[in-house]
Structure 1
Amino acid sequence: MIAQALYKNPDAPIDERVEDLLQRMTLYEKIGQMTQLDITLINKTGNQRNVELVEEKAVELIRDHHIGSFLNGEAVAPDQWYEFMNRLTRIAVKESRLEIPIIYGIDHMHGASYLSGSTIFPHNINLGATFDESHSFETARITAIESADLGHHWTFAPVLDLGLNPYWPRFWETYGEDPHLASVMGAAYVRGYQNNEDIAPYRTAATSKHFLAYSNPASGWDRSPVQVSMQMIHEMHRPSFQAAINAGLKTVMLNSGEINGVPVHASKEIVTGLLREKMGFDGVVVTDWDDIGKLVDFHKVAEDYQEATYMAIEAGIDMNMTPTTLEFNKALLSLVKDGRISKKRINESVRRILKLKFDLGLFEHPYPRNDRMNRIGMESHRQKALRAAEESLVVLKNDGNVLPLKNPDNILLFGPCAKSKRNLAGGWTIGWQGGSEDQYPEGMNTLCDALQKKYPNASIHYADSIPVDGTPTEQKTFLESTSSADLLIYAAGEEPYTEFVGNVTDLRLPGRQLDEIALLNRSASPTVLIMIAGRPRIITDIIKETDAFIFAGLPGFEGADAIANLLSGTTVPSGKLPFSYPQHTGHFVNYHHKPSAVYFFNRDQANVIIQDSNATTSLFEFGDGLSYTTFEYDNLVLSATEITAGKVLTASVTITNTGDVTGKESVLWFISDLAGRITRPVKILKHFEKVELAPGEKATLTFEIQPEKILSYPDSKGIPILEPGRFTVNAGPLTETFILK
């Protein structure tokens, strides 16, 4: 009888299939579809590791409680994932009365990061530094190719929060501090992951998270309160999610924190009013880990779990990442029976969940396959990860052109990241907080390994100690031993972390590392500092004496080779900072700050404030990044000096490679609104384009300025404001003014 049902007919319209299945389901079956449980409940180890299914537990949860989704695990071999998912998906179809397949969610954040042998790309903060959306697209596309066959059809990526607060421990999961950059990169990820013919017959769903304004808590700590105006939400935090929705995004995960005193998981204004009604999102909204429970024991806005469930359902969530109990199922069932939650409201969420499963073809193709595993970690994929890593490295200082280093005889290598694989990849790699060092691929290079391979004829010596606590005589002896080296390289940074585990109270690079760099800077040999970290650690006290500085971020499994290629000149650096690098621990502002956020005063003249739109308190600015060649910006021309609504003004600029080697330059176009009823940023990125030029080659790039799109800004209700007045357009060192009539 089921085989003849309309919802089983693959040729029937999806909406009709959904309605046919929905009317056949019991209330408790529907609630099961709204529940997502963690792998620990069905895994033999009882934790995330090893991925070995306990069938009787899976049968019970699916048959008796109708669970529609499971999530996560840690990196294991492809055949092990295949075995686990093959058994789990077959249990779901066999034990589900209506043969409803499960959807499996997983944190494949920068490649298929919970799959051994997969291609691991740089994290988002690095991809942002490339200013090239193709790298975000390829990260997503290859993630899907390497994992969809194994039954991983739903990834909890990309992160579309903005990296506004460098204390925030998920800073590196963002594309940087700019909404336009995050919008372009995020939309590219969605297209690459969801529109992927290479994984046929499977289809996959991306998740943009964490909706929204999660990333700028006052304290910098994860999940802590955010105070932000609705106007700022519409102008800064909404665009990246809107771009993903416009690209066809299928699922959204909510912010685990609170906005203006209301936890997002309990905010109907944010989830239904903004996301659904204003932004037009009609896909599945999923909670983050146990965030309904946290309404009780963390945010303390609900007295018990049942009340918390009521608040979250009323706010507009569809699926609850419970993730380790059936408390949600019991609470929601009781709420419906008591009449507090209507069956109509349940149907709204289940309809969206079923539609997602039909859209992904899970009813036709619920089981994994194991005949294309040769595509996992294939060389062409690794080459794309290497190119992304190379273009993500940002050279911020290169005094005396100490880089690139050609044909050295002797390199001395120092620092906690010099012989670490895990530090290159950060969190969400192999496991939640990164794997142990012995879990990383044997063929993955540390920086020390990569330098030895890049310079086979040189002496590469790693020193695991620097005598910062030694006597003056011991330090003098040490410095004399370094004086004959061609280069001293210090690989500074952090060990992997994510979420609240990465909370810090001091943004400075740990004191021991600063002391070691300071001592090396006293050597007669030049010093290169490489920062391998998920956020910009403060280095103000030592940067002046350091000859070269590279922000390497978290470049992934190919990161060491990328760094070695940059140091040697095999590749020419083209990365630019996607954030403002702070100079001070207690004061930092983003590049798109308001005019009154950065100012100076004349100590000799009372009450005189000096403002300068180019003033900064950052150590390095958004968009900074050096090359081994030079680029000249010339002939910034506007097609008109005045424009009206409905028309288009075209700006053009000529870029010439005036150096000796071929290089890439990211051309960043900024707009400044010189006066607005709501205070305007001093400047804001509106367009970027990357161009490769040979020595002496030039190119003319254009930027179309459509007033309604480029010159307007939202009010507190999200309604666009387009005001006449003066504007400037900026590319490189050049600026021109025009008037909107």
Structure 2
Amino acid sequence: MNRFQQVLILLCGIAAFSCQPSSENIQIKKAGVGIPSDQSIEKKIAQQLERLTLAEKVGQMTQITLDVITQGADEFVSDEPLALDEKLVLEAIQKYKVGSVLNTANNRARTPKKWNSVIEHLQRVSMEEIGIPLIYGVDAIHGTTYTAGATFFPQQIGLGATWNPEIVRQGAEVCAYETRASGIPWNFSPVLDMGRDARWARMWETFGEDVYLNTQLGLEVIKGYQGEDNDISKHGRVAACLKHFLGYSSLSGKDRTPALIPERELREIYLPTFQAAVDQGAYTVMINSGLINGIPVHANYQLLTELLKKEMGFDGLVVTDWADIENIHIRDKVAATQKEAVKMAINAGIDMAMVPYNYNFTTNLIELVTEGEVPMQRIDDAVSRILRVKYAMGLFEKPMDKQEEYPEFASEKFEQSALEAARESITLLKNNEQVLPLKKGTKVFVTGPNAHSMRTLNGGWTYSWQGEKVDEFAGKYQSILTAIQAVNGTGNVSYQPTVEYPAEGTYDVDHLRDLNKAKRMAKAADVIVLCLGENTYTEKPGDLHDLNISENQQLLAKEMAKLGKPIVLVLNEGRPRLISTFETQMDAVLQTYLPGNFGGQALAEILFGEVNPSGKLPYTYPKYANSLLTYDHKYAENQEKMEGMYDYESLMEVQYPFGHGLSYADFEYRDLTLSKTTFTAEETIEVSVKVKNNSAIAGKEVVQLYISDHYASLAPSVKKLKRFEKIHLAAQEERTIRFTLQGRDLAFVGFNNEWISEKGDFSIMVDQLKQDFYLSETKTYNQVQSLAL
């Protein structure tokens, strides 16, 4: 044993999951849909394992990127037009027995026809050489990311802002249909990470900061991808991939960085969404690229095997993220060699390596098995999981679907669904003196770097990884500017960007031009529509040093405010950039997030009253850089000034609270009623509340129910979201909304890392209404709590 192995064992000993779970806490299969059990498939898997050589088994565990096997691939940059290199294809499949390919080539979207051609060829070679189809995967996270002409919905943070499970599921169904039309059966989505740090470059890939909201919407994505019955062999379905297990996004605000997470917090905040998704039957899981408590998650046996596979009962395929086995050696310095990194990862529970550029993984793993360092049982388990997914997809009977089988690709129906999602995502945060909606014919001056850009409307993972190629593919859609012109008339709209992003280079750089000209143009208008935000980014390239919106954009906002004109601030950003230096000078504020190709049209409709906004913030919008907190914070995190003491600015002010969002309608809440004020943990409590639309226009409202624990053995959160429902109310319509709660809805993870509902006083809150009740007994739950209620 070398010193690196000794260090790893020591780290494992002090990690959050250092103790082996007791047998009573390990559940092989929990209640829920789960991955369908098919004995005929299991028999076929066993027969394949008997037939396959060690090299073929290891090949099934290997995943390479498309650039490796295309013409011009010597530098991993493919020639255009794209074509496979037959010699390199044979090297991958015939020599190294590779079982999976991912990604696009040259970081560029392809037509469904091109995808069909590429994948059909790879499948033919794989079936001829190995007798097993390969599995192709892509990151299709708000539509079929790398397919030209596909339908793009809002990014996941925008879908979170809809608070509408039905819309989220529809988007997933369209994405699955169009991804399968390209011949691709595996989607690296949904992201189930928690967006609890406004600084994080991947916050917009999440549903927001709340556990319950993430869980409910994540389940809808899985149902949309895989169907209610999880039969992914059916037409238009793909296998979901849960990202990124576990605890990604925590601590530093930078991507792929270490985190220190106590087991209690890991189980209460980060785990429930994944557990619910496993129970629902998600077929694959991708692993957190960072470290938790000093251990690379890709090398953490306690997390990958003991927790995920045993306790959570996950029967599917565990895949690495990009080059993350190599990172155990290169970046994390835990393994002295690449070979040792492979040993750690596979023994920890990794089933497939997203290598992605070479075959060192295959040669190293074959040697490790031959030397007895990796048991053959572990290899067979990994290959069984991979084959289980391939059989479930129906790839052995039909290795690839074809475009002509999918006539609704990019249909008007799909586009209407994406438009409706954009409409429901956009969130009205401020509307002083009812400056919105605008009257048609109003003289509008549009300015800002995000006013005339399809790139910024879509964000990253759109036609390319960083989203920089959007304008090459999205020419038929409306930007914010052209959409306003379409609704309000070109003659009533003037425009100048004033602040512009560079065509290439660092995403967070912009340039100020022609400010005096912009001021002259603004003076001639009735209203200024100021479109600020961010350029496109994701992952490490999106790391930032300053959460404030850029200095040039701040200057533009302040100079526009000096003119005395009404200003409508339109935010188009992946994370909440700080706007407190000028927000008070804005008359209205709209958050569009990253609404996709139909975001411009949806926004214009809202600006001019054709659509009533209904989005709600899925995160807390911070006001200051050192006041980053979530809505479910502890009381001690937000201490007000105590009598007789100095005020050390300890109050954590926020710009806009979680769940906030205005409407052009006026909703009134009354008569919050509980079926009982005392109940046991085994009983249910019925909650009802009346909601009335007191206005002359129809609107949608999200009814949000929160629980507050008055006192607990561990410091309770101020409040927790436990139920929500989005409703449509006609003018003057009133409706009674009902929710059902159980004792486990009051539970938290206690000192012994078990879920516990403690007896005591609680409050239920809906809007400004509150009712107290009493839980008369304490109950523990010897399992991971699933919020799939």
Same fold (TM over 0.5): yes
Q: Quick one: distance in 2 between partners of 1:45 and 1:565?
A: 47
Q: Structure 1 residues 635 and 431 mapped into 2: Cα distance closer, same or farther (>3 Å)?
A: same
After TM superposition, give the deviation of residue 199 of structure 1 in Å. 8.0
Query: Residue in 2 aligned with 1:341?
Result: 374
The superposition leaves residues 115-138 of structure 1 with CA deviations (integer Å, 9 ceiling, x where unpaired) of: 000000100100010101112211
After TM superposition, give the deviation of residue 480 of structure 1 in Å. 5.7
Structure 1 segment 190-589 matched on structure 2, within 5 A: 190-195=222-227, 200-201=234-235, 203-218=237-252, 220-456=253-489, 458-465=491-498, 479=519, 481-589=521-629
Q: Quick one: distance in 1 between partners of 2:440 and 2:132?
A: 63
Query: Residue in 2 aligned with 1:69?
Result: 100
Query: Residue in 1 aligned with 2:127?
Result: 93
Report the 3-state secondary structure (helix = DSSP H, G, I; strand = E; otherwise coil) of the residue aligned with 2:568: strand
Q: Quick one: distance in 2 between partners of 1:354 and 1:608?
A: 62
Report the 3-state secondary structure (helix = DSSP H, G, I; strand = E; otherwise coil) of the residue aligned with 1:210: strand
After TM superposition, give the deviation of residue 215 of structure 1 in Å. 1.2
Q: Of 129, 137, 154, which aligns to 2:161? A: 129
Is the 8 Å Cα contact of residues 483 and 600 (structure 2) preserved in structure 1? yes
Q: Of 14, 19, 35, which aligns to 2:41? A: 14
Q: Quick one: distance in 1 between partners of 2:233 and 2:724?
A: 31
The superposition leaves residues 621-647 of structure 1 with CA deviations (integer Å, 9 ceiling, x where unpaired) of: 001100001100000000111011211
RMSD: 2.2
Q: Which amino acid aligns with 2:52?
A: M
After TM superposition, give the deviation of residue 61 of structure 1 in Å. 1.0
Q: Which amino acid aligns with 1:116?
A: A
Is the 8 Å Cα contact of residues 494 and 521 (structure 2) preserved in structure 1? no
Q: Quick one: distance in 2 between partners of 1:647 and 1:305?
A: 55
Q: Quick one: distance in 1 between partners of 2:70 and 2:120?
A: 14
Q: Quick one: distance in 2 between partners of 1:273 and 1:437?
A: 42
Q: Which runs of 5+ in 2 are unaligned?
A: 1-37, 501-509, 777-789
The superposition leaves residues 271-326 of structure 1 with CA deviations (integer Å, 9 ceiling, x where unpaired) of: 11221122111111000000000001111111011111111112111000011111
Q: Which amino acid aligns with 1:217?
A: L
Q: Structure 1 residues 630 and 203 mapped into 2: Cα distance closer, same or farther (>3 Å)?
A: closer
After TM superposition, give the deviation of residue 82 of structure 1 in Å. 1.2
Q: Quick one: distance in 1 between partners of 2:491 and 2:700?
A: 29
Report the 3-state secondary structure (helix = DSSP H, G, I; strand = E; otherwise coil) of the residue aligned with 2:428: strand
The superposition leaves residues 532-556 of structure 1 with CA deviations (integer Å, 9 ceiling, x where unpaired) of: 1100000001000111111111000
Q: Which amino acid aligns with 2:691?
A: I
- Percent identical among aligned pairs is 37
Q: Quick one: distance in 1 between partners of 2:483 and 2:606?
A: 11
Is the 8 Å Cα contact of residues 408 and 486 (structure 1) preserved in structure 2? no
Is the 8 Å Cα contact of residues 420 and 437 (structure 1) preserved in structure 2? no
Is the 8 Å Cα contact of residues 112 and 181 (structure 2) preserved in structure 1? no
The superposition leaves residues 592-639 of structure 1 with CA deviations (integer Å, 9 ceiling, x where unpaired) of: 00111111224x71489999xxx7521100011000011000000001
2:195 counterpart of 1:163: yes
Q: Which amino acid aligns with 1:63?
A: Q
Q: Quick one: distance in 2 between partners of 1:50 and 1:304?
A: 38
Larger CA deviation: 266-275 vs 414-423 = 266-275
Is the 8 Å Cα contact of residues 531 and 551 (structure 1) preserved in structure 2? yes
Query: Residue in 1 aligned with 2:143?
Result: 111
Is the 8 Å Cα contact of residues 455 and 470 (structure 2) preserved in structure 1? yes
Is the 8 Å Cα contact of residues 635 and 653 (structure 1) preserved in structure 2? yes
Q: Which amino acid aligns with 2:68?
A: L
Q: Quick one: distance in 1 between partners of 2:374 and 2:667?
A: 62
Q: Calculate the TM-score normalised by the size of structure 1.
A: 0.94
2:763 counterpart of 1:728: yes
Larger CA deviation: 462-471 vs 295-304 = 462-471
Q: Quick one: distance in 2 between partners of 1:458 and 1:649?
A: 58
Q: Of 27, 30, 53, which aligns to 2:84? A: 53
Give the aligned length. 721
Q: Structure 1 residues 317 and 715 mapped into 2: Cα distance closer, same or farther (>3 Å)?
A: farther
Q: Structure 1 residues 644 and 438 mapped into 2: Cα distance closer, same or farther (>3 Å)?
A: closer
Q: Quick one: distance in 2 between partners of 1:354 and 1:290?
A: 22
Q: Structure 1 residues 195 and 332 mapped into 2: Cα distance closer, same or farther (>3 Å)?
A: same
Q: Which amino acid aligns with 2:529?
A: I
Query: Residue in 2 aligned with 1:691?
Result: 727
Q: Structure 1 residues 470 and 565 mapped into 2: Cα distance closer, same or farther (>3 Å)?
A: closer
Larger CA deviation: 405-414 vs 150-159 = 405-414
Q: Quick one: distance in 2 between partners of 1:333 and 1:466?
A: 56
Is the 8 Å Cα contact of residues 230 and 716 (structure 1) preserved in structure 2? no
Q: Structure 1 residues 645 and 543 mapped into 2: Cα distance closer, same or farther (>3 Å)?
A: same
Is the 8 Å Cα contact of residues 51 and 84 (structure 1) preserved in structure 2? no
Q: Of 640, 654, 670, which aligns to 1:600? A: 640
Q: Quick one: distance in 1 between partners of 2:751 and 2:317?
A: 26
Q: Which amino acid aligns with 1:663?
A: G
After TM superposition, give the deviation of residue 151 of structure 1 in Å. 1.9
Q: Of 39, 47, 67, which aligns to 1:40? A: 67
Query: Residue in 1 aligned with 2:210?
Result: 178
Q: Quick one: distance in 2 between partners of 1:413 and 1:608?
A: 42
Query: Residue in 2 aligned with 1:739?
Result: 774
Q: Which amino acid aligns with 1:123?
A: Q
After TM superposition, give the deviation of residue 458 of structure 1 in Å. 4.2
Report the 3-state secondary structure (helix = DSSP H, G, I; strand = E; otherwise coil) of the residue aligned with 2:109: coil
After TM superposition, give the deviation of residue 490 of structure 1 in Å. 1.0
Q: Quick one: distance in 1 between partners of 2:315 and 2:521?
A: 65
Q: Structure 1 residues 50 and 694 mapped into 2: Cα distance closer, same or farther (>3 Å)?
A: farther
Query: Residue in 2 aligned with 1:6?
Result: none
After TM superposition, give the deviation of residue 373 of structure 1 in Å. 4.6
Is the 8 Å Cα contact of residues 455 and 471 (structure 2) preserved in structure 1? no
Q: Quick one: distance in 2 between partners of 1:585 and 1:492?
A: 19
Q: Structure 1 residues 14 and 491 mapped into 2: Cα distance closer, same or farther (>3 Å)?
A: same
Q: Which amino acid aligns with 2:599?
A: G
Report the 3-state secondary structure (helix = DSSP H, G, I; strand = E; otherwise coil) of the residue aligned with 1:163: coil
After TM superposition, give the deviation of residue 228 of structure 1 in Å. 1.4
The superposition leaves residues 32-77 of structure 1 with CA deviations (integer Å, 9 ceiling, x where unpaired) of: 0001011111122433786422222112211111110000103111
The superposition leaves residues 13-49 of structure 1 with CA deviations (integer Å, 9 ceiling, x where unpaired) of: 1110110111111111100000101111112243378
Report the 3-state secondary structure (helix = DSSP H, G, I; strand = E; otherwise coil) of the residue aligned with 2:585: coil
2:52 counterpart of 1:25: yes
The superposition leaves residues 151-203 of structure 1 with CA deviations (integer Å, 9 ceiling, x where unpaired) of: 21001000000101111100000000001000001111001001188983464
Report the 3-state secondary structure (helix = DSSP H, G, I; strand = E; otherwise coil) of the residue aligned with 1:101: coil
Q: Quick one: distance in 2 between partners of 1:182 and 1:437?
A: 28
Q: Of 681, 685, 701, which aligns to 2:737? A: 701
Query: Residue in 1 aligned with 2:33?
Result: none
Is the 8 Å Cα contact of residues 411 and 458 (structure 1) preserved in structure 2? no
Q: Quick one: distance in 2 between partners of 1:404 and 1:566?
A: 7
Is the 8 Å Cα contact of residues 464 and 470 (structure 2) preserved in structure 1? no
After TM superposition, give the deviation of residue 456 of structure 1 in Å. 2.3
Q: Which runs of 5+ in 1 are unaligned?
A: 1-10
